[in-house]
A and B are shown apart, each in its own frame.
Chain A
Amino acid sequence: MTADLRAVGVTKSFGGVQALAECSLVARAGQITGLIGPNGSGKTTLFNVMTGYERVDAGQVFLGEQVITGAPPPRVFALGVGRTFQLTRVFPRLTVLENMMVPAQRGRTARQHRQRALDLLAFTGIAGHADALAGTLSYGQRKLLELAYVLVADPAVVLLDEPAGGVNPSLIIHIADRIRELNKDGRTFLIVEHNMEFVMGLCDQVTVLDSGAVVASGPPEEIRSNPRVLDAYLGRDAEADADD
């Protein structure tokens, strides 16, 4: 069901700005990998490159042993890689249930697809809004809808761009619980997030980006005390805390 998602030596520039510099990252099959770094460090660009929204200047992206570099987004999705966006992107003039029906159906009848959609709405806790227009949902509910409709097609790997960003604390716990439960089935997650408590409590591995390059990679407890990470991202206060 699941496979490693790897970026190997990926480089990407926009004009004179280098967003990614020979960046390599592995989201291991069945694990939850966190991707952290300061604003502008290239996290979302890496997501875009891995999901076909941006072309690489150099480097390769692999899903398992398959090269997916340069594959367009529908192809990447069909291969089993789904993603959400930093700013939620639901279809505002479709109902919530219609949003759930948009993703391509892989080997399912329409009835099975609909049942899966309804089950996922119940799973994420927004089933009561099935007939509401997605544009009328609150920000937190949109985050849940985005998570739900990415899951409809059972992607092997799910990339979440700031799933806890801008949502209330109780909803953050709810989202983390849902991710943990999905991960128990062996689904691979790669998560960009600024909420350190969320990342460190949820992820098996954490990779840190700074200026488009990987600064460190390892288990959360190792990352928490890595001097380069403290210097580049977590800051001196955190270092002092770590010393304590």
Chain B
Amino acid sequence: MTGSTGTGGPLTEGTVTEAAPPAPNTLRTGTGWIRHSPARMLAAGVVTALLVMVAVFPLVFTNQTVTNIGVVTLIFVAVASAWNLFSGYSGYLSLGHAIFYGAGAYFLAVAAKDWNLTGSAIFWLVPLAGVVAALIAIPLGLVALRVRRHTFVVITIAFFFIAQLSASNLGITGGSSGLIVPAPNWNPTTYNNPFYYLAMLLAAATVALSVVIRRSRFGLQLRAIRDDEDRAAGLGVRAMPVKLTALVISAFITGMAGALWVYFIGEAVPQFVFDPLFDLAVVLMAFFGGLGTVAGPVLGALVLEPTQLYLTLEQSNGYESEILFGVLFLVVILFLPRGVLPTAAEYLSKGRARLRRGRGGTP
């Protein structure tokens, strides 16, 4: 073989008896393997169709109860994707993202009150809320990311309860009675639309960022850390800065989502802003769709959040949806531990292989 090897020396091509032919859907080129997959074209079509459907949704369904569900669902698409781009990619499962969500929410509520902001001007606080959450993530990450796996989960839970107790007892957060965010004086028939389109923008930007990170060297380092952090360190990956950066990005988005949500619902009360079920719901969304994938958390949020909101609206007692979610969590962990999308992809791949064998082709 073959020539130049970057800055390395020339190499001789080896042969090994166990070597297999190139994987399907790949083509050897001068610069490597390029994937030629009809599935990618299909995925692009599905994404475009989904974006169009989401964009026209509030124009078609003008009922405010329905668009209400739409706003909260899109906020959870952003949160689940943000959680996934840290926890799903790195393997560090956080049960403390409500801290960032709550920090963003309280920042917006406090700043709107203190700076006497009303109407659309309050939206300018949303990115600032993201910055506040990101700043909180730095010391939190420097402590929590020194430990691995289960210990990390426990530490995030401990931080969450510290935040929740602080919000319930501090004067700046209004204690247990919370804070009211002044509602904008908009047309009631289209009241939800600005929130809806901002939530859509946040969700779309988060998903796009998830794609970019997953395809980047940074994303590769995160996924290597997930598989074997010590081995990655031995190949030059500086794990702490990589993990911390991912946590800060994730917290930034989650903080913005929390701020948008609190402006939408109009009040910041500790038991709802720092809700332990928030983290469980987000984790379930990611696990349901497919942990560590781009589309998985989106699917999870699009299916589970409207279901929960619908059940809560239909059932006056409210706890039935929580029981259902608990059962669903068990079912997903036991029977679909990799999530719906990776499992479906696996079945599809096996089906195709069986079909090829049936036709007498190579397996």
Q: With A78-B236, A94-B227, A114-B32 known to touch, is A125 a contact of B8 (CB < 8 Å)?
A: no
Is B12 part of the binding interface, using a Cβ–Cβ cutoff of 8 Å? yes
Q: Is the CB of B23 within 8 A of A131?
A: yes
Interface string of A131-161 (1 = CB under 8 A from B): 1100000101100100001110110000000
With A94-B220, A127-B19 already in contact, the answer to whether A115 and B5 are too (CB < 8 A) is yes
Q: Is the CB of B16 within 8 A of A171?
A: yes
**Is residue B9 within 8 Å, beta carbon to beta carbon, of the partner chain?**
yes
Q: Is the CB of B14 within 8 A of A171?
A: no
What's the Cα separation between A170 and B32 when bound, in Å? 28
* B154 contacts chain A at the CB level, 8 A cutoff: no
B19 touches which one: A76, A129, A150 (CB < 8 A)? A129
Contacts of B25 in A (CB 8 A): 131
How many angstroms from the CA of A108 to the CA of B237 in the assembled complex? 16
B residues less than 8 Å from A94 (CB atoms): 220, 223-224, 227
Q: A74 within 8 Å of B by Cβ?
A: yes
Chain B residues, Cβ within 8 Å of A103 = 235-236
> In chain B, what residue has the closest Cβ to A153?
B236
Question: Which residues of chain B have C-beta atoms less than 8 A from A78's C-beta?
Answer: 236
- Given A89-B228, A123-B14: A97 and B19 interface contact (C-beta under 8 Å): no
Does B234 sit at the interface, judged by CB under 8 A? Answer: yes
Within 8 A of A (CB), among B1-29: 1-2, 4-9, 11-23, 25-26
Known: A104-B235, A123-B11, A140-B18. A131 touches B26 (CB 8 A): yes
- Are B220 and A149 interface neighbours, CB within 8 A? no
Among B22, B221, B236, max chain A CB count under 10 A is at B236
Contact indicator per residue, chain A 89-104, by CB within 8 Å of chain B (1) or not (0): 1111110011001111
B319: Cβ under 8 A from any A Cβ: no
Q: Are B14 and A97 in contact (CB under 8 A)?
A: no
B236:A93 contact, CB within 8 angstroms: no
- Chain B residues contacting A108 (CB-CB under 8 Å) are 6-7
Q: Does B113 touch A at the CB level, under 8 Å?
A: no
What residues on A are CB-neighbors of B235 within 8 Å? 74, 77, 82, 102-104, 149-150, 153
A136 → B minimal CB distance (Å): 10
Known pairs A119-B11, A122-B11, A170-B17; A77 contacts B234 (CB<8 A) = yes
A contacts with B: majority SS: helix
Known: A91-B224, A174-B14. A107 touches B5 (CB 8 A): no
Contact with B along A149-189 (1 / 0, CB 8 A): 11101100000000000000011001001100100010000
Pair B217/A124 contact, Cβ less than 8 Å: no
Q: Across the interface, do B231 and A130 meet the contact criterion of CB distance under 8 Å?
A: no
* Closest B residue by C-beta to A91: B227
- B6 and A174 within 8 A (CB): no
Question: For residue B310, which residues in chain A have a CB less than 8 angstroms away from its CB?
Answer: none
Q: How far is the CB of B127 from chain A (nearest CB, A)?
A: 31
Tally A-B pairs: CB < 8 A. Answer: 162
User: Interface range on chain B: under 10, 10 to 19, 20 to 34, or 35 or more?
Assistant: 35 or more
Chain A hits for B238, CB < 8 A: 74
Question: Is there a chain A Cβ closer than 8 Å to B110's Cβ?
Answer: no
Is there a chain B Cβ closer than 8 Å to A59's Cβ? no
Among A115, A150, A174, which residue has its beta carbon within 8 angstroms of that of B32?
A: A115
Q: How far apart sit A19 and B202, CA to CA, in the bound complex (Å)?
A: 55
A122 with B14: CB separation less than 8 A: yes
Give the nearest-CB partner of A150 in chain B. B235
0 or 1 for each of A3-25: is its CB under 8 Å from B? (1 = yes): 00000000000000000000000
Complex interface: chain B residues within 8 A of A177 (CB): 14
* CB contact between B6 and one of A74, A113, A138 (< 8 Å): that residue: A113
Q: Are B234 and A53 in contact (CB under 8 A)?
A: yes
Question: Distance in Å from the Cβ of B33 to the closest Cβ of chain A?
Answer: 6
Question: Which one of A77, A85, A124 lies within 8 Å of B236 (CB-CB)?
Answer: A77
Do the beta carbons of B228 and A91 come within 8 Å of each other?
Answer: yes
Docked CA distance A94–B222 (Å): 11
Q: Is A110 an interface residue (CB 8 A)?
A: yes
A73 at the interface (CB under 8 A from B): yes
Q: Is the CB of A73 within 8 A of B6?
A: no
Beyond A94-B223, A144-B16, 17 extra complex contacts between A and B, CB < 8 Å: A74-B237, A90-B231, A94-B224, A98-B220, A103-B235, A103-B236, A104-B236, A108-B7, A112-B7, A116-B6, A119-B8, A122-B1, A126-B19, A128-B19, A131-B25, A151-B8, A170-B17
Q: What are 9 A-B pairs with beta-carbon distances under 8 A?
A: A73-B230, A78-B236, A98-B223, A115-B5, A116-B8, A128-B20, A140-B18, A174-B15, A178-B14
Q: What 10 A-B pairs are tightest by C-beta distance, nearest first?
A: A104-B236, A125-B16, A112-B6, A116-B6, A125-B14, A131-B23, A91-B227, A123-B11, A103-B235, A73-B233
